[in-house]
């Protein structure tokens, strides 16, 4: 009984813990209010997915209720083919951009970490970071020009012709089969440098004594990268992959919108463009909301599955 009393006396109550961390809690209040105001309060707008919403009727509670009509329209109804094609395009483009971007960022982080000349390393990093700060409109215009015919300044066609890889110019944006690869290339060029920041930070957290011990054992530079650096940043890689899977249906919008056309619509129309065309432009806000709810549930499902797989593999997870 005395032991139990001593343990109980030594434990802090929840109020004591909160009071001891009151400064941190007060600092987090603005961020918490921001999250509640802009992420949770607008969720009442999901009611539009079950209504024939008309903006002229001011109260959302006075709208005409249609049940699951909008969900049936996009999932099994007249727009189902177009909707599922947009879902496939979103998943395909996001998956390619995610895995190519992650793999390339890891490789580049390892290479940058091995650079010993600090000045050259900083210049190289600055050059790589620059495209991330360009407007997506500018990037889309640059991509459109680079992929054009040689007479219109298409440097990619000019390079391929010069290297004799192709015999005649290719209309990249007129062939739907190239679009996913184009998106992967644009995303890689834009985000590669920026994506290395977290991995470089994770590498700096690895104990330097591990490298010293490996060098004493005769490990060369490549073995140290394989047996020390990569295992050291593996938890970071897993957590970032889980977080990014939550955005698997958010393949972007601006670049697909500017580069998309009737010639490549079968591979360029993603879910956001579908929502814009058949929801917002046609003032069918209920259908747009239903599509947005579907995307949210898919994102949550993907994160839960990825988190569960990480748990089974004994890796770091979000929950």
C-alpha distances (whole Å) from 35 to each of 30, 31, 38, 218, 254 are: 9, 6, 6, 51, 25
Ordered structural domains, the chain, with CATH: 2-36 (no CATH), 74-312 (1.10.3720.10)
Question: What is the model's pLDDT at position 97?
Answer: 93
Q: Token pair for residue 20?
A: 């001891």
Instruction: Dig out the tokens for 226 from the structure.
Output: 């394989």
Helix or strand (DSSP H, E) at 95: helix 80-114
pLDDT single digits (tens) 1-46: 444 444 455 577 888 888 888 899 999 999 999 999 998 898 889 9
pLDDT at 9: 55
How far apart CA 214 and CA 49 sit, in angstroms, is 59
- Can you say whether the dihedral through the CA atoms of 258, 261, 265, 267 is positive or negative? negative
pLDDT at residue 316 in the model: 65
Give tens-digit pLDDT for 266-309: 999 999 999 999 998 998 999 999 999 999 998 888 888 887 88
pLDDT at 319: 63
pTM of the model: 0.85
Separation between Cα atoms, residue 162 and residue 167, nearest integer Å? 10
CB of 298 within 8 A of CB of 249? yes
Q: How far apart are CA 91 and CA 88, in angstroms?
A: 5
Question: How many residues make up the chain in this entry?
Answer: 319
Q: For position 73, what pLDDT does the model report?
A: 94
260 and 86 Cβ atoms separated by less than 8 Å = no
pLDDT average per 10 residues of sequence, the chain (319 residues):
48 84 91 91 91 87 92 93 94 92 92 85 88 92 92 90 91 93 93 89 89 87 89 88 82 90 93 92 92 90 82 68
- Dig out the tokens for 56 from the structure: 């002229």
Spell out the residues 6+ positions from residue 198 whose beta carbon is closer than 8 angstroms to its own: 236, 240
Distance from C-alpha of 163 to C-alpha of 199, rounded to nearest angstrom:
35
Tokens of 140: 């889309």
């Amino acid at each position: 009984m005395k032991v139990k009393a001593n343990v109980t006396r030594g434990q802090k109550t929840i109020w004591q813990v909160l009071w001891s961390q009151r400064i941190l809690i007060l600092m987090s209040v603005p961020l918490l209010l921001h999250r509640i105001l802009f992420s949770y309060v607008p969720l009442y707008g999901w009611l539009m997915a079950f209504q024939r919403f008309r903006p002229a009727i001011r109260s959302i509670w006075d709208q005409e209720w249609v049940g699951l009509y909008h969900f049936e329209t996009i999932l099994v109804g007249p727009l189902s083919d177009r909707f599922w094609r947009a879902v496939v395009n979103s998943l395909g483009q996001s998956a390619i951009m995610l895995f190519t971007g992650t793999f390339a960022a890891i490789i580049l982080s390892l290479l940058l970490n091995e650079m010993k000349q600090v000045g050259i390393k900083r210049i190289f990093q600055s050059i790589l970071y620059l495209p991330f700060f360009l407007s997506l409109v500018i990037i889309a215009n640059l991509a459109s020009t680079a992929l054009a015919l040689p007479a219109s300044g298409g440097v990619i066609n000019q390079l391929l012709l010069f290297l004799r890889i192709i015999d005649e110019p290719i209309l990249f944006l007129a062939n739907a089969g190239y679009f996913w690869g184009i998106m992967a290339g644009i995303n890689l060029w834009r985000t590669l440098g920026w994506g290395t920041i977290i991995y470089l930070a994770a590498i700096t957290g690895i104990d330097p004594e591990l490298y010293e011990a490996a060098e004493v054992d005769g490990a060369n530079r490549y073995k140290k990268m394989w047996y020390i650096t990569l295992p050291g940043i593996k938890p970071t890689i897993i957590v970032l992959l889980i977080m990014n899977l939550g955005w698997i249906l958010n393949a972007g919008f601006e670049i697909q919108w500017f580069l998309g056309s009737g010639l490549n619509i079968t591979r360029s129309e993603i879910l956001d463009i579908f929502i814009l065309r058949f929801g917002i432009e046609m003032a069918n806000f209920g259908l747009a909301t239903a599509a947005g709810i579907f995307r949210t549930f898919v994102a949550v499902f993907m994160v839960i599955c990825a988190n569960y797989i990480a748990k089974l593999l004994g890796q770091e997870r979000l929950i």
